[in-house]
A and B are shown apart, each in its own frame.
Chain A
Amino acid sequence: MIKTAMRYRWFILSMMVMGLVTIADRGLGSRAIDTTIMTLGEMLFIIPPIFVLLGLLDTWVPKDTMVKYMGEGSGLKGILLAFFIGSAAAGPLYGAFPVAAVFMRKGVKFSNILIFIGAWSTTKIPMFLFELSALGAPFAITRLLVNIPGIIIIAYLLNAIVSREEVETMYLNAERLSD
């Protein structure tokens, strides 16, 4: 009970802030509550399938298979797969992090995980099609073409600034977070 309350302490605190804001400014508070409910609805809609898929991935796909396709020595194949899986995704970026944790457990190379995160953040195929129709081809295609090398460069820069120990700590932490 106390353990649960501790885990949810920031949530409890933010609920209190929301309450205080509503008392101080009714209009602002109700706008904030409306947006929160809308975001919660979106989260409840998009999160279950992502987590079910990552659960299935975790139990069905053997570590050896993931290492072979996306681990150390997977080369260009691993990069392309990371790009493809990230781009085929749906949902906001926070959905990508739990998937990244399962990838870590399965021995996916860190630079490929970073490419996957980059692709999920900004080159999602469903989003690209939507962007194309809403903002036009010059806008959407330019953004896509600049993003592809950008994601790879950012992934390799991040990979270069972390030490082997730091990556190992993250991978150990991932074991804890998805077990």
Chain B
Amino acid sequence: MNWLLYLVTIIFLAYSYIMDKSKTKKSLMKAWKAFEKILPELLVVIIMVGLLMAILDPDLIIKVIGDDSGWLGVVLASIVGAVTLIPGFIAFPTADLLLQGGAGYMQIGAFVSTLMMVGIVTIPVEVKYFGGKITVYRNLMAYAFSYIVAYAISLVVSLV
């Protein structure tokens, strides 16, 4: 799926180059500068992710978000989702395995939702662009909203 992103980028870039070489060069310079400005924060984020994921034990995660773990399990699942940064192509199959392993839909719903909407480790990057206030409120609201998502998913799954 990500190859599609490359294909689109190459098409636009080639078209831009044909139309105007100097403008294309300027675009690439801008791209590099924008990247270089955020690079220090990005590097910190990936090291934090590395440390965090090494500390969190998958077996422990399954134990705490099992089907009978109730609201406490939802709270724990939402915290795990909020602090981790896992790409979707790993997260969804993992979530499926957790469901098969006995995790509840409400817990997995909370995990998936906070994983995508809340980013604790990426806060340094977000603050750089949006400032502290928006970053804190956006993450808090997204976190609270994930409970609604989790409840809705468990409700729908129990009905179908």
B18 contacts chain A at the CB level, 8 A cutoff: no
CB neighbours (8 Å) of A15 from chain B are: 47
Contact with B30, one of A37, A58, A91, A147 (Cβ below 8 angstroms): A58
Docked Cα-Cα span, A37 to B88, in Å, equals 17
Interface of B is mostly: helix
- Asked if B27 contacts A135 (CB within 8 A), the reply is no
- Asked if B88 contacts A161 (CB within 8 A), the reply is no
- Asked if A92 contacts B152 (CB within 8 A), the reply is no
Question: How distant is A176 from chain B, measured CB to nearest CB, in Å?
Answer: 9
CB neighbours (8 Å) of A37 from chain B are: 50
- Asked if B157 contacts A28 (CB within 8 A), the reply is no
Digit string of B1-15 for contact with A (CB within 8 Å is 1, else 0)?
110111011001100
Docked Cα-Cα span, A52 to B93, in Å, equals 30
Q: List B residues 23-76 near A (Cβ within 8 Å).
A: 23-24, 26-35, 37-38, 40-51, 53-55
Contact with B53, one of A35, A40, A121 (Cβ below 8 angstroms): A35
A177 contacts chain B at the CB level, 8 A cutoff: yes
Which interface class (under 10, 10 to 19, 20 to 34, 35 or more) fits A? 35 or more
Interface of A is mostly: helix
Chain A positions within 8 Å of B, measured between CB atoms, are: 7-8, 10-11, 14-15, 17-18, 21, 28-29, 31-37, 39-40, 42-43, 45-47, 49-56, 58-60, 90-94, 97-98, 100-102, 114, 117-118, 121-122, 124, 126-127, 129-131, 134-135, 138-139, 142-143, 146-147, 150, 154, 157-158, 161-162, 166, 169-170, 173-174, 177-179
Q: 8 closest Cβ contacts across the A-B interface?
A: A36-B50, A55-B31, A134-B92, A32-B54, A31-B54, A55-B27, A49-B9, A55-B30
Chain B positions within 8 Å of A, measured between CB atoms, are: 1-2, 4-6, 8-9, 12-13, 16, 23-24, 26-35, 37-38, 40-51, 53-55, 85, 87-89, 92-93, 95-96, 99, 105, 108-109, 112-113, 116-117, 119, 122, 124-126, 128-131, 133-134, 137-138, 141-142, 145, 148-149, 152-153, 156-157, 160
